Amino acid sequence: MSFLKVDNISFNISSFSLKNLSFSVEKGKTLALIGKSGSGKTMTLELIAGIKTPHKGRIYLDERDITHLPRHKREISIVYQDYVLFPHMNVEQNILYSQKNKPDRDLFERIVNTFKINHLLKRPVNALSGGEKQKIALARAIMSKPKLLLLDEPLSAIDFPFRRDFLDFIYHLKEEFGLTMIYVTHNFKEALTIADEAAVMFNGEIIRKGRPDEVLQNPENLETARFLGYRNILPINLLEQQKRGFFSVSPEKINIFDKQKDGCLCLKGKLKSPIDISKRYSIIDVDGYNVFVKAKENAKTRLFICFKKEDIIYLNG
């Protein structure tokens, strides 16, 4: 039984819409929601949190229909990339906000010790660094004892050298407090580190869902491959003249030969650039398409690129 179930929800605003969105998250697991800006990731979180109400569909949490439940009754916390801390309160007051009348002091002490923020408790929040502010936002969210924690681009305001440490810290929080999370990001490396499953969003739809490594190694469709930065996305009629669609082969799986290689699929090409600007790849022209292969400084001008059939990834167009 899914802990969170988003069932066929739709939401329209201006010229953008979420279209029949369905997915689930198991208890204690993390789903990474990945996509470019404007793909609908934050909107999806706000529908789950109760900030917005879907025009169609249902949302269930722990077997309870929460579609029209008020936000404060959902037991869901959301942490935005810009913290949304209360500027007139100090750190301790921010953390205790959800329990200001009768705080759970044991949980508060556990959070303070886990986050190592005892020295910050009396500081005004405008005196904190970006990383400290994000820690306080997370601490406040956990203090509310959420059944589900929603994180919207939590590393975007963290200085780059500290992002990996902060990502490890979030992973530790998940284990320490037994959290179920949805983690929104545009960075697939973050998903590989922290998530049990990844869902790729494009234009208001989930176009691929699975284990992060499966999604990375087998994107299945054109938009996912483009989002993941696949180098070689080529029309399938280069291989089979009567078929339509696309395929991809990693540059690392392609070899250059003077003639066709037995046991491989080979395409005739022409050396376009011995080494491209990245210093990692040679560029081969195959019927007007650029094909990237591992850099070959001494490759002949006219050649064959060859690869094994099992290294082909077929993409739905």
* CATH number of the domain bearing residue 138: 3.40.50.300
| Total number of domains constituting the chain | 2
Phi then psi for residue 162, to 5 deg, are: -105, 0
Helices 130-143 and 163-177, packing angle to 10 deg: 10
Same domain membership, residue 246 and residue 131 = no
Q: Tell me what pLDDT residue 279 has.
A: 64
Three-state DSSP class for 158?
coil
Q: Which domain holds residue 299?
A: 233-315
C-alpha span between 117 and 309 (Å, rounded): 55
Same domain membership, residue 92 and residue 17 = yes
Same domain membership, residue 310 and residue 188 = no
Q: Which residues of the chain have pLDDT under 50?
A: none
Which segments of 178-211 does DSSP mark as H helices, in order?
Answer: 188-194
Q: Tell me what pLDDT residue 156 has.
A: 86
Phi then psi for residue 24, to 5 deg, are: -145, 160
- Cβ 133 vs Cβ 83: under 8 Å: yes
β pairing state of 281-286 and 265-273:
antiparallel
3-class secondary structure for 262-293?
A: CCCEEEEEEEEECCCCCCCEEEEEECCEEEEE
Q: Which residues contact 267 (CB under 8 A, 6 or more apart)?
A: 238, 239, 286, 287, 291, 304, 305, 306
| Amino acid letter, 234 | L
Same domain membership, residue 131 and residue 22 = yes
Q: Tell me what pLDDT residue 277 has.
A: 57
- Cβ 256 vs Cβ 293: under 8 Å: yes
pTM of the predicted model as reported, rounded to 2 decimal places: 0.89
Same domain membership, residue 62 and residue 170 = yes
Q: What are the b/e assignments for 226-247, b being 16+ CB within 10 Å? A: bbbebbbbbebeeeeeeeeebb
Same domain membership, residue 98 and residue 59 = yes
Residue at which a domain ends, from 164, 195, 227: 227
Phi then psi for residue 29, to 5 deg, are: -105, 165
C-alpha span between 316 and 218 (Å, rounded): 11
Same domain membership, residue 150 and residue 96 = yes
Same domain membership, residue 217 and residue 238 = no
Same domain membership, residue 268 and residue 127 = no
Same domain membership, residue 137 and residue 68 = yes
Q: pLDDT tens, 242-277?
A: 788 999 999 999 999 989 999 999 999 999 876 655
Helices 105-115 and 130-143, packing angle to 10 deg: 150
Residue at which a domain ends, from 227, 251, 275: 227
Name the DSSP letter for residue 123: S
